[in-house]
Chain A
Amino acid sequence: MGRETPSMSESRSIRVLSPVGEARPSVLTAPALPSDLRGKTIGFLDNTKANFDRLAADMGELLRRGFGVQDVVHRRKANASSPAAPEILEALAKACDLVLAGSAD
């Protein structure tokens, strides 16, 4: 009665475009991670959520005792959902050899 059979319908094809976006290649070189933490300054960027300060304090102490880290810097964002203020990032970049961006929830 004019209705196509499945085989007829599926024998035709349709060309469709991908909806997925593409990222533009960006050139960003990060320095290699230090192979040895002795004498280094480690930073923690606190996202303000509960208990991250405790976790960072414990980790900082472990890094000092067990890995010879010389100094630990702890900076806190204004709140969990906004990016860190540029002055916080600049200060961490200036003072630290390595920064851990923290998350707790």
Chain B
Amino acid sequence: MTLLSEILELPDSPEAVFSAFCEREWCDGLPIIPPTLERVESMLGAVAGDPQESLGALPPLWREATLEKLAVNAVMAGCLPAHFPVVLTAVEAMLDPAFNLYGVQATTHPVAPLLILSGPYARAIGMHGGSGCFGPGFRANATIGRAIRLILMNVGGGWPGRHDMATQGSPAKFAYAIAENEAACPWAPLHVELGYAPDQSVVTVFGGEAPHNVNDHVSTGAAGILHTVSDTAATLGSNVKWYLSQSQLLLVLGPEHAATIAGDGLSKGEVKRFVFEHARLPLGTLKLGGMWGIQDWPEWMRAVTDDRTLLPIVASPEEIFVIVAGGAGKHSAVVPNSTFSRAVHRPLTRLLNGGHRE
């Protein structure tokens, strides 16, 4: 295996390697696993493809996402080789023009690609969708999410304040990766809803803000919980709604909320419709600030003059995604998107040995 990366010779101590990477702005501020030749080769051994094959040029500096460079960053993040196919598939998905990675990388808006892994490979590699799934504590979630960030920084060139212009950044920019809690999902999981077979494994990337908490401890029916979800989703300060054609919403329902909603007989489609119809703001509120005056709305919304009219935050129920994740408790989360980036789904490919290691 021929690798072409520049090689650095450093003192063989964790502190020295960490310092050298920090000085060069090659890491996220946390210690890294030194990307030695042997470790990078081992990472590359988990996928099919030539190390110099590029998945495309990553913005904002348009540097090539070769398998070799992706593997170096995955090693640094602490990934196991079995995690690498997920990282690689996420990069493929982020390079889909619909995802608008340039916008996600460069915006002042605090957004990060949320990686959702659906299907059996999540279980095979220990990708966690249960209690505390957004972290901390789970190696697959933490290291796969971190590998994505290191790739966006080191290959894409999105360094904070320089190309990554997020005003305040976000904790979600360290690592943002979960699995669905398929065992606790009363509906079809996301990948099956999208038309994939149950035994396929699918990566979704969703350019989203950090999760917004939905606390509903008292509702005993679907309507109460979904009103709370809708109210959390429809806020003046969220970016969602201003560029309506690109606005999307992800609902991450906790298993207890999902069970209550499904217990009232609602399908996933009906959940989306409810939230589409109730997550609205009156025109008069929208005029108070946010991006009023520079919004990109369809003609019918621009024609509204009555300040009491409730206006939607996404263009249709289909722009709302619903997954179940988390553990015990009466909490869910709403993840607004970056309003110029659309969710992209990709089945896992390039798995060697069948990939499914159950």
Contacts and interface: CB of A to CB of B under 8 A. Distances in A.
Contact of A81 (B34, B76, B339): B339
Interface stretch (A5-13, A36-44, A59-67, A89-97): A5-13
A48 B5 CA distance: 41
B246 A17 contact: no
Contacts of B58: 21
Interface in B24-75: 26, 34-37, 40, 54, 57-58, 61-66, 68-69, 72-73
A35 interface: no
Chain A interface mostly helix, strand, loop or mixed?
loop
A17 B36 contact: yes
B12 A17 contact: no
B13 interface: yes
B217 to A, nearest CB: 37
B35 A17 contact: yes
Contacts of B13: 6, 9-10
Nearest to A77: B296
Nearest to B8: A16
Interface core residue of A9, A20, A21 (most chain B CB under 10 Å)? A21
B311 interface: no
A21 B150 contact: no
Interface in A59-87: 78-83
B218 interface: no
A29 interface: no
Contact of B61 (A12, A16, A23): A23
Contact of B36 (A6, A15, A22, A105): A15
A20 B296 contact: no
B10 A79 contact: no
Contact of A13 (B11, B150, B154, B243): B11
Contacts, number: 116
A81 B72 contact: no
Contact of A12 (B3, B12, B54, B155): B12
Interface string A47-60: 01110000000000
A34 to B, nearest CB: 28
B303 interface: no
B107 A16 contact: no
A20 B154 contact: yes
B84 to A, nearest CB: 14
B243 to A, nearest CB: 5
Given A22-B63, A81-B339, A14 B9 contact: yes
29 contacts: A10-B12, A13-B11, A14-B10, A14-B34, A15-B10, A15-B37, A16-B34, A17-B5, A17-B8, A17-B37, A17-B40, A18-B5, A19-B73, A19-B150, A20-B63, A20-B69, A22-B63, A22-B64, A22-B69, A23-B62, A23-B63, A23-B64, A49-B294, A50-B293, A50-B294, A79-B294, A81-B107, A81-B246, A81-B339
Interface of A: 6, 9-10, 12-24, 48-50, 78-83, 105
Given A18-B26, A79-B294, 5 more contacts: A10-B13, A14-B17, A16-B35, A21-B65, A81-B243
